[in-house]
Amino acid sequence: MAAQYTGKMPQKTKAPPPAADPAKAKGGKPSALPAQAKPQKRASGKAAAPLPAAVRRAKPAPVVVPTEPKPAPRRRAVANAAAAAHGRTLAAWSHAEIVEAFTRFEAADPEPKGELEHSDPFTLLVAVVLSAQATDAGVNKATRGLFAAAATPAAMAALGEEEIARHIRTLGLFKGKAKNVAELSRLLIARHGGQVPRDREALEALPGVGRKTANVVLNIAFGEPTIAVDTHLFRVANRTGLAPGATPLAVEEGLEARIPDRFKLHAHHWLILHGRYICKARQPECRRCLIADLCRWPEKII
């Protein structure tokens, strides 16, 4: 029968008390161990030898939870090559389609942000230089210690190549990157009074700084409407038909020419985040994609 509602909180049922030791209950001595914990005797009548101390101290092996494998760089390169081949067969999106796509990106995330930790143009520049062939999470892990030790060009130059390398040794190509960071810090002092220049040519003259890094710095640090084409933008632009192109520069020029000015400041972040989390190299999540109806990728799954 269902319990009747009384308007009172139900009382917790008390757990039954532990079973009394029958030996103690009879007035005798309490038994030292529960029956199952007593040492078992061998058939010979002798007690089993205790386990060696090393074995008793050994911890059980940790349980390894399998995680989804990350796409290897080679597989991403293959996916991007397939996207570029597809792009060569496409008519690019119309102006109306581009406006529609960016209107949706803007509505979903009006102020998109990059994921590299930094506090000013210099720390941003260093973080972007370190991000080649590395994830943003990996760079952030390395730069927390590095920037605590040196966060200005003068301090970084004084820290020196060897110490910089020690802080960033978890990153690929860390020796070359350390050399570049030390040298670009020295050059910023020698040529630009210790400031990061707001000028593409001057930026690209620094060691380790190419067109993509200069575009990121100009966009994030100085609010210029530049569009840095990395592996994610290259793939998205070619798969969708937004701005097909055989090289990163061709894609960048296509995006520059076709994206309306009012969307340009945030276009880089919208597209990089879309490529990183939705339009992934091996398994794009087309069912979560807000531009799926506009996309011309023949393998999309919707």
* Residues assigned a catalytic role: 212, 230
Among the listed residues 128, 98, 100, the one whose alpha carbon sits nearest the alpha carbon of residue 115: 128
Tokens of 240: 């969708």
92 has binding-site annotation: no
Among the listed residues 288, 194, 197, 271, the one whose alpha carbon sits nearest the alpha carbon of residue 229: 271
Contacts of 28 (CB under 8 A, 6+ apart): none
**Stretch touching ligand SF4 by CB under 6 A, among 40-48, 124-132, 197-205, 283-291:** 283-291
Instruction: State which residue, 153 or 241, has the beta carbon closest to ligand SF4.
Output: 241
Q: In angstroms, rounded to a whole number, what is the distance separating the alpha carbons of residues 237 and 242? A: 5
For position 284 contacting ligand SF4 by CB under 6 A, the verdict is: yes
Q: In angstroms, rounded to a whole number, what is the distance separating the alpha carbons of residues 248 and 246? A: 7
Instruction: State which residue, 109 or 224, has the beta carbon closest to ligand SF4.
Output: 109
Instruction: State which residue, 208 or 244, has the beta carbon closest to ligand SF4.
Output: 244
- Tell me, rounded to whole angstroms, the distance of Cα 212 from its chain centroid: 19
168-197 positions binding ligand SF4, by CB under 6 A: none
Judged by CB under 6 A, how many residues of this single chain contact ligand SF4? 13
**Stretch touching ligand SF4 by CB under 6 A, among 59-67, 91-99, 122-130, 285-293:** 285-293
Instruction: State which residue, 233 or 289, has the beta carbon closest to ligand SF4.
Output: 289
For position 159 contacting ligand SF4 by CB under 6 A, the verdict is: no
198-257 positions binding ligand SF4, by CB under 6 A: 239-240
119 has binding-site annotation: no
The residue assigned the tokens 């597809």 is 86
Shortest CB 290 distance to ligand SF4, Å: 8
For position 125 contacting ligand SF4 by CB under 6 A, the verdict is: no
287 has binding-site annotation: no
Residue 24, exposed/middle/buried by CB under 10 A (0-12, 13-18, 19+)?
exposed
Tokens of 94: 């119309």
Q: Binding ligand SF4 by CB under 6 A: which of 181, 216, 218, 295? A: 295
Rounded to the nearest 10°, the torsion over CA 269, 275, 277, 278 is 120
For position 98 contacting ligand SF4 by CB under 6 A, the verdict is: no
The SS3 assignment for 46 reads: coil
Q: Binding ligand SF4 by CB under 6 A: which of 126, 251, 279, 281? A: 279
Q: In angstroms, rounded to a whole number, what is the distance separating the alpha carbons of residues 268 and 216? A: 8
286 has binding-site annotation: yes
**Stretch touching ligand SF4 by CB under 6 A, among 66-74, 140-148, 152-160, 279-287:** 279-287
By the 8 A CB rule, do 79 and 72 touch? no
By the 8 A CB rule, do 258 and 102 touch? no
Q: In angstroms, rounded to a whole number, what is the distance separating the alpha carbons of residues 233 and 279? A: 10
By the 8 A CB rule, do 220 and 266 touch? no
For position 286 contacting ligand SF4 by CB under 6 A, the verdict is: yes
For position 278 contacting ligand SF4 by CB under 6 A, the verdict is: yes
Instruction: State which residue, 162 or 293, has the beta carbon closest to ligand SF4.
Output: 293
Shortest CB 247 distance to ligand SF4, Å: 20
Annotated binding site for [4Fe-4S] cluster: 279, 286, 289, 295
Annotated binding site: 279, 286, 289, 295
Judged by the rule CB under 6 A, the positions of this chain that interact with ligand SF4 are 239-240, 278-279, 284-286, 289, 291-292, 295, 297, 300
